[in-house]
Structure 1
Amino acid sequence: MAQIVESSQTSFIKGRDQKKFHKPKLFNDHFQNYKVYGIPKAQLVIADIPYNLGNYAYASNPAWYEGGDNKNGESSKAGTEFFDTDKDFRITEFLHFCSNMLVKEPKDKGRAPCMIVFCEFEQQFELIEKAKKYGFKNYINLVFRKNFSAQVLKANMRVVGNCEYGVILYRDKLPKFNNHGKMIFNCFDWERDGVTVKVHPTQKPVKLLERLIRLFTDPGEVVIDPVAGSAVTLLAAAQTGRKGYGFEIKKGYFKDANEKVLSRIQIPLF
């Protein structure tokens, strides 16, 4: 039986700026089963899809070795997956969900929905091509720049990766964009999150997610994360006054996300 969890906070608190803070909802189920929950359609889908790395998840990560040092021999993470679904994630099923759950493109300009997908470098090209079959004809590449690199085992190459990648996918009209009429670069700084408890190996910084949500949605609109993991997207949605919905199929991550992340939603008091 699928489980549903809402944050223990009150449904919303109304401040002087008239923004509402909504309880996020996390479903312990596969996003393919979305119809039974009757969730509203979204202005924005944010997803950190599995990279299908399989047993090579830690291939260039120091965690492959005990204490991060190859002199100590391999650790229990050597030759293992981040999670057992990180080898057969089906992008077409994901895109089908998004095509159904994003709001229809309005007639007015500057109101269109979009999706933001964090992905492995080569996955972005597969996403771009397959998305066209579901009506998402346009894209903008994203780069997330870190001031550190986990690829220490590739240090002998001298050039190591310090970036993550993503893509904005949209239909015909440019998505809603809230930046006071100013452009932004497609390279974002990846600010480390030293506040939120880490419960998932590919967890994203909350401040980064909050910035993306503010750029592409208005307060009160719906944000969906179909592969929620740690549920930090739902946390970011709630803390920016949006309605967050997410799906997480693994019971362990679902439990940790609810008990350690969503239970700590900080609602501003005015």
Structure 2
Amino acid sequence: MEQKRNLKPKCELYHDHFENHKRYPIQKAQLIIADIPYNLGNNAYASNVSWYEGGEIANGESKLAGTQFFKTDKNFNIDNFFRFVKRLLKPEPKEIGKAPALIILCAFHQLAPLIEIAKEHGFKTFNHPLVFTKNYSAEVLKANMRIVGACEYGLVFYRDKLPKFNNGGKMVFNHMEFGRLEENKIHPTQKPLELLKKLITLFTDVGDVVIDPVAGSGSTLLASKILNRNSYGFEIKRNFYKEAIKNINEVEPTIVNGQKTVQTNIFDFL
């Protein structure tokens, strides 16, 4: 008879701000992934048809006109964020190829400032930023008059030693497909699950710890749970937190004869 046992990685999402992390029993991370606020302020929907009622200029402005994605989208404290990262990343190991990493997903205009701020906190970054390419764009207004953005960006940071890197003997380019979002999108800047799974697989092994200090939709924790990584996250907005918890709880990773499989009633992830 085929043997099956449930693998129960830790997967904890806290309805709190990451600056309150000392309240919680969190293990130090092999990888921290953060999709930080873009600091767009009240122009969050400026190039999107959502600015107008029903997506039509003739209908006048919608309730999203002149608004932020969320309250922290104009005053995110990046220095406090890096202090959190320094406390929660695992210490530098003696072995080569075991060091932890930080991935920040960000807007194009944040790339250069983040590199400089990271240096002040003792972090290096690779020469090439991550570029996630899409075959669609949210910048639909006046698309017949200008070039629109169809990329998202990220940076990989490390301290003194190069981080763990599971490339399987193949070159990994700094550009990769962003992919399509799942049907149950619950956050305005949500990232595709398959993209997060790829990044987590590159920089961690089964059983490692992944932390997302600004969890949003909880997709990082969901991807980590599927891949049998332990994960912790923080989300201060109650509606995002509740939906994220619902999605996370519906996924159960299992082991069948030593092979990782997933049982879920949401998506066929693998």
Amino acid at match of 1:120: A
- Find the partner of 1:228 among 215, 224, 227: 215
Say which SS state the counterpart of residue 108 (structure 2) adopts. coil
Q: Which residue of 2 aligns with 1:180?
A: 168
Letter in 2 for 1:164: E
Cα distance in 1 for residues equivalent to 2:213 and 2:162: 23
- The Cα offsets for residues 166-207 of structure 1, whole Å up to 9 and x where unpaired, read as 111111221111111221110110111335x21111111111
Cross-structure match for 2:204 = 217
- Pair 1:89-2:76 in alignment: yes
TM-score normalised per structure 2: 0.89
CA distances 1:51-95 after superposition (whole Å, capped 9, x unpaired): 111110000011111222222221111111111111100111111
Q: Which runs of 5+ in 1 are unaligned?
A: 1-12
Q: How do 1:218-257 residues align onto structure 2 when only pairs under 5 Å count? A: 218-257=205-244
Alignment of 1:32-111 (within 5 A): 32-111=19-98
TM-score for the superposition, normalised by structure 1: 0.89
- Cα distance change of structure 1 residues 269 and 181 upon mapping to structure 2, 3 Å threshold: closer
Q: What are the superposed Cα offsets for residues 100-131 of structure 1, whole Å, 9 maximum, x if unpaired? A: 11111112111111111111111111111111
Check if 1:265 corresponds to 2:251: yes
Contact 2:82 2:121 in 1 (8 A): yes
Q: Report the more deviating stretch, 77-86 or 236-245.
A: 77-86
Mapped partners of 1:60, 1:107: distance in 2: 48
Instruction: Give me the whole-angstrom Cα distance separating, in 2, the residues matched to 1:194 and 1:94.
Output: 28
Q: Indicate the RMSD between aligned Cα atoms, in angstroms.
A: 1.5
Percent identity, aligned pairs only? 56
Residue 144 of structure 1 aligns to a residue in which SS?
Answer: strand
AA of the residue aligned to 1:264: E
- Runs in 1 of length 4+ with deviation above 3 angstroms? none
Partner of 2:132: 144
Kept in 1, the 8 Å contact 2:5–2:255? The answer is no
Mark the runs of 5 or more structure 2 residues left unpaired by the alignment.
257-270
The residue identity in structure 2 corresponding to 1:41 is: K
Corresponding residue number in structure 2 for 1:123: 110
For residue 152 of structure 1, give the secondary structure of its aligned residue in structure 2.
coil
Distance (whole Å) between structure 2 residues aligned to residue 53 and residue 250 of structure 1: 18
- How far 1:268 sits from its partner (Å)? 4.0
Matched AA of 1:147: N
Does the 8 Å CA contact 1:21/1:242 hold for their aligned counterparts? Answer: no
Q: Quick check: 1:21–1:239 contact (8 Å CA) kept in 2?
A: no
* Distance of 2:63 and 2:23 partners within structure 1: 39
Per the alignment, residue 9 of structure 1 pairs with: none
Q: 3-state SS of the aligned residue for 1:122? A: helix
Cα distance between partner residues in 2 of 1:194 and 1:138: 30
- Alpha-carbon distance in structure 1 between the residues aligned to 2:112 and 2:142: 24
Taking a change above 3 Å as real, the CA distance of residues 199 and 136 of structure 1, as seen in their structure-2 partners, is: same
Q: Secondary structure at the match of 1:202?
A: coil
Q: What's the CA shift string for 1:218-242, capped at 9, x where partnerless?
A: 0000000000011110000000010
Distance 1:111 1:222 in 2: 13
Q: Which amino acid aligns with 1:262?
A: I
- Is 1:21–1:240's contact at 8 Å kept on the other side of the alignment? no
Aligned equivalent of 2:259: none
